[in-house]
Structure 1
Amino acid sequence: MRVLVIGRTGQIATELLPRLAAAGHEAVALEPPEFDLTDAGQVAAAFARHRPEAVVNCAAYTAVDRAEEERDLAFAVNATGPRLLGEAAAEAGVPVVHYSTDYVFDGSKAAPYTEADPPNPVGVYGASKLAGEQALHAAQPRSVTLRTAWVCSPHGNNFVKTMLRFGRERPEMRVVADQHGAPTFAADLAAAAVALLPRLAAASAGDPVFGVTHLTGMPYTTWHGFAEAIFAGAARRGQTAPQLTAITTAEYPTKARRPANSRLDCTRAARVLGLPPQDWRAGLERCLDALMKGSAA
């Protein structure tokens, strides 16, 4: 299958491309500066040139705090881009896999969010991602949006790499303990897209595989709990762990509000898509192995 991947160097795309090749797919990955997702002409030209049989959109504006000041850019990448992809994919008759975020919710629910819960983003980033979901599915109903959270990998910027760096520099660290969610490793999100592609290619509009589905790691934890697991793993690999102190969100103010509850119910992913949530602790071990090779020596 010819697969057009939007994004090449981000966390998910970096994990996705070798998996597509291993599965026998022919993948073309596009990203700036040679490709502008927000330019209708460039999107149309990419479809005409590469004639994809499926599209996986890994591109996103993810600077949560900066989005509060760069609203137009965030909406261009996160909303206009998916709409243009959906329109081109619908014209070409090909399905789309798209990634979204827990930030479409305000975090006030006491239980994990299901796909039936009404979104209510409280910041520009979440609002732009929600607009992208809606625009994509309106343009191309044969699309799957995988809402996820707390994405990590050995690549790019993420919580695991930040913790390891700070842990080497600081004897003590303060980490928020009242935000709840589930770490999700990019490798698992990439594997999910690869597993979905054959089914999407064969499915008609209206098939339950299409639509919005929650997919994160399991079990649920907090940022503080995740940090504890990171440093425990780092200690097993020879890095001295800092002393961790649990703090509240109020003690760590940010420009954009974070959801206190980022827990997503992933029942639908397992039941309808055949994608059970993966244990993030296993993903963390693989990530630490990749990041800390030779550190114990």
Structure 2
Amino acid sequence: MEAQSYNTFDFYYLLSIWAKELSGDFNKIVELTNASEELLQSKKVNPERFDHRYNKFIQVYAHLRAKKLEEGIRLASLYESSFNPSSNNWFAFMENYTLLALHAKQYKIAHTLLHKVLTNPFIKKITKMAQERWSLFEAYLNLVAPQEDKPFKWKSLTQNVPSYSKDKEGFNVAILILQVLYYVDMMDTEALEYRMEALKKYAHKHFKDSFSERSRIFFKLLNLVVKADFDYIVAQKKGESLYHKLQNTNPPGDAYAEIEIVPYEHLWELIIKRLQLREV
């Protein structure tokens, strides 16, 4: 701002976000976008030139990645009306909003957002991969917070075997994990053995670097459940050290890394809780 030039501010703003994304410093992006929004509101930057929608989008995304979930939800609620529901940007914004709600265990909010997205007629115009992501969001939400009056149809997802293309790596992981979770919930040993074998093959082929460390740990926890024959006490005890390791392993810092739809810690807690309830 010292240069009193909008172009200087804009270059600094964009380069700062780019640099912090590369280093995975999302807390700094939160600070930068918060400050930029304040400058916009006080009219210290030109509102006709500053891309306020981009700032709002990045601000909400940075809150998600920095795990500032409650504040992120508050901002997303305020900013939703800034995006046209017929645009791709609205659907992209709603992905981050929904992930914030899922990560914060605000499942009622997540159901409301999901309904808004799935009933938006323009969903047919977004890319096929984006539509598939929304199908996964719906499936995960119905796994962790099912609605009794609206039973979810699992058949297509549980029978689908994902293709192992590199550009859909995180997508494939989410599908395979979801399938295993579903069969754990059903206590279907035969189907589980098949899916666990698919997980092992996938892990052996793709999980060869630190990018996949959290998924690798969670796969081991899932395998423990099968080996424990669904005994929650055995699974919980044998999985304790892995669970603590998972808690101490941060998600990849890369700005373009796949985000867990529901954090693995929450899924593990859900598995133990449901296995425990079956033994009551």
Higher RCO (C-alpha 8 Å, min separation 6): 1
Higher helix share goes to which structure? 2
Larger Rg: 2
Q: TM-score, normalised by structure 1?
A: 0.30
